[in-house]
Amino acid sequence: MIKLPEPIFDSKVAVEAALWARKSIRSYQGEDLTLAEVSQLLWAAQGINRKNGMRTAPSAGALYPLEVYLVVGQIEQLPVGVYKYRFQGHELIQISDEEKRQALAAAGYGQSCIERASINIVIAAVYERTAGKYGERAVRYVHMEVGHAAQNIYLQAITLELGTVVVGAFDDSRVKKILMMDADESPLNIMPVGRARK
């Protein structure tokens, strides 16, 4: 397991400024990100923000069906590969030590932003966690939740002067295989992240 740097809870960017600046960016400089930047993005997506274990994105019934994967291409002090984020302990578990950006881009129907990004954050869901309580309404609740997590990543990226975009067009089964997801996990989006090309 790889312990991530502790997230910071303050920045020089007001939430209003981040909302004003939020936009989808698909072109990146190809530079390394720092482990601290990646730590901040993952915490924004699904990190703990209260002593009782609640997280940064709201979840119906506090059931937290989302799982977050990190596809690393260019991070200082972190080898390429696939990692899974563990919110308990704010750490990463390495799934694969292979460079997977090209394969992930192919699964995303050739979208070059996936291959050229320094990292890709992939959010998956275990629908059964929510369905046990909410039945057929669980699907809409899970989809709301992935939207909350994605917007958190967008806004956090702005504070770090990074660019990202939500990618929803991909072959689910190929993404699942590339990331070696558990059988009950379904990929919902891919978020390439990098330093925006000026």
Tell me what pLDDT residue 50 has.
Answer: 93
State pLDDT tens for residues 97-110.
Answer: 999 999 999 999 99
Residues 6 or more apart whose Cβ sits within 8 Å of residue 54: 48, 62
Q: How far is Cα 114 from Cα 177, in angstroms, rounded to an integer?
A: 16
Beta strands in the chain (DSSP E): 2-3, 66-72, 81-86, 91-96, 119-125, 163-164, 186-194
Is the pLDDT at 198 greater than 80, yes or no?
no
> Does 3.40.109.10 match the CATH number of domain 2-194?
yes
- SS3 for 55? strand
State pLDDT tens for residues 54-113.
Answer: 999 999 999 999 999 999 999 999 999 999 999 999 999 999 999 999 999 999 999 999
User: Model's pTM, two decimal places?
Assistant: 0.97
State pLDDT tens for residues 144-166.
Answer: 999 999 999 999 999 999 999 99
State pLDDT tens for residues 121-131.
Answer: 999 999 999 99
| Angle value at C-alpha 35, between 29 and 39, nearest 5 degrees | 110
Mean pLDDT of 30-35: 95
Q: 138-159 vs 127-134: helix axis angle to the nearest 10? A: 130
172 Cα distance to chain centroid:
16
Q: How far is CA 174 from CA 26, 93, 103, 181, in A?
A: 22, 21, 9, 10
- SS3 for 151? helix
- Every domain of the chain and the residues it spans: 2-194
